[in-house]
Chain A
Amino acid sequence: GENVEQHPSTLSVQEGDSAVIKCTYSDSASNYFPWYKQELGKGPQLIIDIRSNVGEKKDQRIAVTLNKTAKHFSLHITETQPEDSAVYFCAASYGQNFVFGPGTRLSVLP
């Protein structure tokens, strides 16, 4: 089956710096990779996604890159703000389901 790893598990950055979170997946059949942001006590919110026929996608301060050959994808957040502090989950499609990474707790220090 699909296995998704995510690193780092925790990340602290200064406000204004960039943050990068990396994920790897095992099943070459996966073709859709969303990223979710989860704040404490709330459900995950989709922040960006990418399909396997695209190498990079950007939405304002957030970008995702995908290396299909190496089976890894990354989330890049630039000009971080305190409100970016949350837990971020990557996921890879597996049939009609998703397999989620273990999450990264991002802290943006003012």
Chain B
Amino acid sequence: GAVVSQHPSRVICKSGTSVKIECRSLDFQATTMFWYRQFPKKSLMLMATSNEGSKATYEQGVEKDKFLINHASLTLSTLTVTSAHPEDSSFYICSAKGGPSSTDTQYFGPGTRLTVL
């Protein structure tokens, strides 16, 4: 139980285009989903927290107009990187909270490697 999927696993796009990443909790309803960004050999940096049906809460320094988050259902959250630039290239990971064994635990997706040319 407590499986989180992410799609796509890898994406390469041209500068100026938008990219959407999906995060799904496959076998539980996620009350809260989180989006992280991870730079090489670094820890996880929280970008935003989203609760189903409400607006996401963004961390300081994260541009909400650039990183659009939608959490339309208890099993799906999406992150859209708008007008992507090479500096947006990174590993993006989502997590979901609300699994069968604990409401505290975050279960992570496999990550999406974004490369902006």
Q: Which residues of A contact B (CB under 8 A)?
A: 32, 34, 36, 41-46, 49, 51, 89, 93, 96-98, 100-103
Tell me which residues from 2 to 17 in chain B have a Cβ below 8 Å from any Cβ of chain A: 4, 6
Inter-chain contacts of B42 with A (CB < 8 A): 102-103
Given A43-B110, A43-B111, A44-B93, A101–B104 Cβ distance below 8 Å? no
When A and B form their complex, what is the total count of cross-chain residue pairs whose Cβ atoms lie within 8 Å?
45
Chain A: minimal CB distance from B38 (Å) = 9
The 20 listed contacts between A and B (C-beta, < 8 Å) are A32-B104, A34-B105, A34-B106, A36-B108, A41-B111, A42-B110, A43-B6, A43-B93, A44-B44, A44-B108, A46-B105, A46-B108, A49-B102, A49-B104, A51-B104, A89-B43, A93-B104, A102-B43, A103-B42, A103-B43
* Interface residue? B32 (CB, 8 A): yes
Contacts of B113 in A (CB 8 A): 41
Besides A41-B113, A46-B108, 13 more A-B contacts (Cβ < 8 Å) are: A43-B4, A43-B6, A45-B108, A46-B106, A49-B102, A49-B105, A51-B104, A89-B44, A97-B46, A97-B49, A102-B42, A102-B43, A103-B43
Q: How far is the CB of A88 from chain B (nearest CB, A)?
A: 11
Q: Which residues of A are found within 8 Å of B108, using beta-carbon distances?
A: 36, 43-46
B37 within 8 A of A: no
> How many angstroms from the CA of A93 to the CA of B107 in the assembled complex?
14
Q: Which residue of B lies closest to A43 (CB)?
A: B108
Scoring B residues 41 to 83 as 1 if CB is less than 8 Å from chain A, else 0, what string do you get?
0111010010000000000000000000000000000000000
For residue B112, which residue of chain A has the nearest CB? A43
The complex places the Cα of A25 from the Cα of B98 at a distance, in Å, of: 24
Taking the closest CB of chain A, its distance from the CB of B63, in whole angstroms, is 19
With A41-B113, A43-B111, A101-B43 already in contact, the answer to whether A96 and B105 are too (CB < 8 A) is no
